[in-house]
C-alpha cells in the first residue's frame, strides 16, 4: 500500500458548469489534504464563471493551492502522477497512455463517472477496464448515495460551517446581496434548465403564502436581471448574481427550498440540509427519468408518505415526467417536515464514504 502523492485530474467540458465544477472541487479538496494536484481543463472560460480570478488565456497558473493547466489539444501532456483521474470518460492523448504504461509502479487510473442513484451503480463501481492496446487498466469510479459506491464529495469542514451558519450570519449574507425577504415569506432559490416549466412555476407561486424567489443571472429570461425585483401577487422575483461556489453554498443554506440541477448543485443542496427539488440533466433517451425515479425512491424511503407523495409529484412534474399540475400549496405546507427530513438525509450521506477519501483509499490499495 502506497500513499498517492501526485494527482492529475482531466476535464473536458461538455456544457454548463457541472463537469468543471466537480473537477475544481475535487482538485481543491485533494490540495487541502496536502496532495500535489494538477487540474487540466479544456475550457477555462467555463471555470472562470465559477472562479472569476483565473486567467483563461494562461497555460499554467496557481489556484486554490493546486496547479491549473490549460488542455487545448491532443498533443502529449507529459503527465506523470500517482493517481490519474479522467473525469466523465474524457480521453487522454495516446502518447500519455504509452508513457503511463511504461511507469513503475503504474499510476492508478480511474474514470470518474456521473452521479446516479440507480442500483446497477454499486455493481459497476471499481470494475476494471483493460486498455485495448496498452498494459493499462482504467477503473470505473462511481459517486453515489450508498455505502457500496464512492460516495459524495464533501469538504472536511463543510458540515461544521453549515451548522455555524445561524440566523444572524444568514441575515448578514442576504443583506450583502441586497436581499430583504418580505416578512413571513418563504425564500426559494431557482437554478434549472430552460426546459423546466418555469413560467408555470412562477404562476403557481403568485397565489398562496408569500414567496421570494431568487434567480441567479443567466438561468432564465423570465426572471429579472441581477439586483432587480419584480412583484406579482404572492411572488417576489429577485435576480441575484451568479455567485462563486462557496457563496452559492451560503445561498442554498439560506433558502427554505432550493431548485437545483445537473449534478454538483444537487449534491451541494443535499449537504445544505434544506428541502430541494432536483432537475436532472435532460437526456435524449429519457435516461434522466429513470435516474429521477431511482433517486426519488431512495431519497424518500423514510419520508412521511403524504409528504413523499407531494414532493414526488412536484419533482416528476418539474422534470417533465408528469403532466398533472402538482400541489404548490401542499409543497409549501410540507416544508417543515421536508426540512427535518433533509437534515436526516444529510446525516445519512455523511455516514457513507466521502468521494475524495474513497479515491485516495482506492489508489492506496491498488498501488
- Cell triple for 229: 425585483
* Integer Cα distance of 367 and 364 in angstroms: 5
Nearer to ligand TRH, 56 or 336 (CB): 56
Nearest to 204, CA basis, from 236, 238, 235, 237:
235
Comparing every residue's Cβ against ligand TRH, the nearest one is 18
Nearer to ligand TRH, 262 or 326 (CB): 262
Which of 82, 263, 264, 354 is an active site residue? Answer: 263
Nearer to ligand TRH, 64 or 244 (CB): 244
Residue 207 has, within 13 A of its CA and on its CB side, a CA count of 5
The distance of closest approach from Cβ of residue 24 to ligand TRH in the complex, given in angstroms and rounded to an integer, is 8
> Could you give the angle at the alpha carbon of 175 between the alpha carbons of 226 and 63, nearest 5°?
70
Which of 19, 82, 96, 354 is an active site residue? Answer: 19
Nearer to ligand TRH, 248 or 341 (CB): 248
The distance of closest approach from Cβ of residue 19 to ligand TRH in the complex, given in angstroms and rounded to an integer, is 5
Side-by-side strand order, sheet with 235-240: 229-232, 235-240, 211-216, 186-190, 257-261, 276-279
The distance of closest approach from Cβ of residue 14 to ligand TRH in the complex, given in angstroms and rounded to an integer, is 4
Burial degree of 305 (CB within 10 A; 0-12, 13-18, 19+)? exposed
* Integer Cα distance of 112 and 118 in angstroms: 16
For binding to ligand TRH (CB under 6 A), which residues are involved? 14-19, 21, 50, 114, 191, 216, 242-245, 248, 261-265, 281
40 with 11: CB under 8 angstroms?
yes
- Cell triple for 81: 502522477
DSSP H helical ranges for the chain: 18-32, 44-50, 94-102, 120-124, 158-164, 167-176, 198-205, 245-254, 264-272, 287-299, 305-318, 328-350, 355-366
* Integer Cα distance of 141 and 127 in angstroms: 8
Nearer to ligand TRH, 125 or 268 (CB): 268
Active site residue 263: yes
Nearer to ligand TRH, 14 or 222 (CB): 14
* Integer Cα distance of 294 and 119 in angstroms: 8
The distance of closest approach from Cβ of residue 25 to ligand TRH in the complex, given in angstroms and rounded to an integer, is 7
**Is the link from the previous residue into 15 a cis peptide, with omega within 30 of 0?**
no
Quick count: other Cβ atoms within 10 Å of Cβ 156? Answer: 12
DSSP 82: S
37 with 79: CB under 8 angstroms?
no
- Cell triple for 160: 461544521
The distance of closest approach from Cβ of residue 71 to ligand TRH in the complex, given in angstroms and rounded to an integer, is 17
Nearer to ligand TRH, 29 or 261 (CB): 261
* Integer Cα distance of 83 and 283 in angstroms: 31
The catalytic residues are 19, 263
Amino acid at each position: 500500500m502506497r500513499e498517492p502523492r501526485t494527482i492529475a485530474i482531466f476535464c473536458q467540458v461538455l456544457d454548463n458548469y457541472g463537469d468543471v465544477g466537480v473537477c475544481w472541487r475535487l482538485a481543491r479538496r485533494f490540495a487541502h489534504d496536502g496532495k500535489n494536484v494538477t487540474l487540466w481543463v479544456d475550457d477555462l472560460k467555463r471555470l472562470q464563471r465559477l472562479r472569476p480570478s483565473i486567467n483563461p488565456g494562461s497555460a499554467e497558473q496557481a489556484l486554490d493551492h493546486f496547479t491549473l493547466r490549460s488542455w487545448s489539444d491532443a498533443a502529449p501532456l507529459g503527465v506523470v502522477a500517482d493517481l490519474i483521474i479522467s473525469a466523465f470518460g474524457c480521453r487522454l492523448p495516446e502518447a500519455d497512455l504509452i508513457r503511463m504504461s511504461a511507469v513503475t509502479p503504474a499510476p492508478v487510473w480511474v474514470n470518474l463517472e456521473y452521479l446516479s442513484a440507480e442500483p446497477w451503480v454499486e455493481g459497476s463501481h471499481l470494475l476494471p477496464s483493460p486498455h485495448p492496446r496498452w498494459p493499462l487498466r482504467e477503473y470505473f469510479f462511481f459517486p453515489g448515495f450508498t455505502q457500496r459506491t464512492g460516495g459524495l464529495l464533501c469538504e472536511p469542514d463543510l458540515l461544521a460551517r453549515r451548522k455555524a451558519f445561524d440566523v444572524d450570519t444568514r441575515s448578514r449574507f442576504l443583506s450583502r446581496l441586497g436581499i430583504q425577504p418580505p416578512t413571513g415569506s418563504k425564500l426559494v432559490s431557482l437554478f434549472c434548465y430552460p426546459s423546466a416549466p418555469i413560467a408555470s412555476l412562477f404562476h403557481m407561486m403568485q397565489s398562496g403564502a408569500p414567496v421570494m424567489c431568487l434567480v441567479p443571472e443567466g438561468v432564465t429570461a423570465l426572471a429579472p436581471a441581477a439586483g432587480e425585483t419584480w412583484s406579482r401577487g404572492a411572488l417576489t422575483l429577485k435576480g441575484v448574481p451568479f455567485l462563486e461556489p462557496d457563496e452559492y453554498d451560503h445561498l442554498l443554506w439560506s433558502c427554505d427550498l432550493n431548485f437545483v440541477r445537473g449534478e454538483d448543485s444537487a449534491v451541494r443542496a443535499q449537504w445544505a440540509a434544506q428541502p430541494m427539488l432536483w432537475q436532472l440533466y435532460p437526456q435524449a433517451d429519457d435516461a434522466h427519468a429513470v435516474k429521477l425515479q431511482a433517486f426519488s425512491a431512495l431519497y424518500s424511503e423514510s419520508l412521511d408518505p403524504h409528504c413523499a407523495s407531494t414532493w414526488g409529484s412536484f419533482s416528476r412534474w418539474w422534470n417533465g415526467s408528469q403532466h398533472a399540475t402538482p400541489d404548490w400549496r401542499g409543497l409549501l405546507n410540507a416544508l417543515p417536515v421536508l426540512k427535518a427530513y433533509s437534515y436526516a438525509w444529510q446525516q445519512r450521506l455523511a455516514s457513507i464514504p466521502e468521494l475524495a477519501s474513497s479515491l485516495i483509499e482506492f489508489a492506496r490499495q491498488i498501488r
